[in-house]
């Protein structure tokens, strides 16, 4: 396993002929996973809107005039009902997202209780709650959280064009706090935000130089939402997105690479190429935080066409993360 990838090396992967890149990605995938299995996660927004951050892609920011209304934290009974439905439909991991800069006070205690309840249902628990202190990470670990999602979004150079209210180092510090408690890391980024190929290579390099690699790497296609500063950007070429999946697979061969936001508008053929490129995890269900997603029935039909089956649940010790998530 390598943890010393340079941006230039990764740029070289992006420049490979498409068939050669796909072949290398398939080799890496098959050496580490069953090529016909996909891990299914369900993502629920438990606290929507009203976020003080200025992430230019996000309709949940209070700074932008979008259709997303600010809501209070969901009641635990509603969250558990959603978790039970997700489990019945085949999801092995239940992810809870809250539009916070960081968790605070009583609301954080309520989320800890939700995590305990999800674990009692024999599901993996994942959360994305913003920045974490070391103490908060310890409490999440104690509650049984398996995965914490905190994306880098892009590379350090382009980051300042996307967000000003939180530094790149802030994101890395949260990931360090999660790792220090022994929880698994869900960390990826968003493509199609106007970045260059070198920026995408730089983002992958940041992820691939983590030791260990993130256990889960979500690759998001920007979902352009009216009212956000990125609503008028040109669409990213589909092949550039597929290449990003393949490069993530080659550089992080034992990570689950998640085909994440933007899947709602992807054709079956494009999704099939993403699976061929090494994607082996998806968000399963009709919604990702505030934006649409492929519904479960469509996914089941596509999996049948491709001969893909859900990854079997693994028992996780109880003690042991969109829009773009």
Catalytically active residues are 51, 55, 58, 95, 126, 186, 258
Signed CA dihedral, 31, 34, 35, 40: sign only:
negative
Helices first, then strands: H and E counts in the chain: 11, 12
Phi, psi of 271, rounded to the nearest 5 degrees: -60, -40
Round the CA-based radius of gyration of the chain to a whole number and report it: 18
On the question of a cis peptide bond just before residue 212, with omega within 30 degrees of 0, the verdict is: yes
**Pick from 149, 150, 168: which is nearest to 159 by CA?**
168
For residues 209-235, one letter each, b for 16 or more C-beta atoms within 10 angstroms of the residue's C-beta and e for the rest, the string is ebeebbbbbbbbbbbbbeebbbeeeee
The 8-class DSSP code of residue 133 comes to: -
- 62, 52 Cβ separation under 8 angstroms: yes
């Amino acid at each position: 396993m390598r943890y010393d990838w340079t941006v230039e090396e990764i740029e070289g992967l992006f420049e490979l002929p498409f068939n050669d890149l796909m072949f290398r990605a398939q080799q890496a995938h098959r050496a580490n996973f069953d090529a016909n299995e996909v891990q299914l996660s369900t993502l629920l927004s438990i606290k929507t809107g009203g976020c003080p951050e200025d992430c230019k892609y996000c309709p949940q920011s209070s700074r932008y005039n979008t259709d997303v209304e600010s809501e209070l934290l969901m009641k635990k009974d509603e969250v558990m009902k959603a978790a039970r439905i997700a489990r019945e439909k085949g999801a092995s991991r239940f992810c809870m997202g809250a539009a916070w800069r960081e968790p605070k006070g009583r609301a954080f205690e309520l989320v800890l209780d939700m995590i305990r309840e999800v674990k009692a249902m024999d599901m993996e628990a994942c959360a994305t709650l913003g920045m974490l202190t070391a103490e908060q990470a310890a409490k999440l670990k104690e509650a049984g959280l398996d995965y914490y999602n905190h994306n880098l979004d892009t590379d350090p150079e382009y980051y300042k064009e996307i967000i000003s209210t939180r530094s790149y180092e802030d994101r890395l510090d949260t990931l360090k706090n999660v790792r220090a408690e022994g929880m698994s890391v869900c960390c990826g980024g968003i493509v199609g935000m106007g970045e260059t190929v070198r920026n995408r290579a730089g983002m992958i390099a940041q992820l691939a130089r983590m030791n260990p690699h993130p256990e889960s790497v979500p690759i998001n296609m920007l979902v352009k939402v009216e009212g956000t500063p990125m609503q008028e950007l040109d669409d990213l070429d589909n092949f550039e997105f597929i290449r990003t999946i393949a490069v993530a697979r080659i550089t992080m061969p034992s990570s689950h690479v998640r085909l994440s936001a933007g899947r709602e508008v992807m054709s079956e053929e494009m999704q099939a190429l993403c699976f061929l490129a090494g994607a082996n995890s998806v968000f399963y269900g009709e919604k990702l935080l505030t934006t649409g997603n492929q519904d479960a029935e469509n996914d089941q039909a596509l999996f049948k066409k491709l001969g893909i089956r859900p990854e079997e649940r693994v028992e996780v010790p109880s003690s042991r993360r969109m829009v773009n998530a």
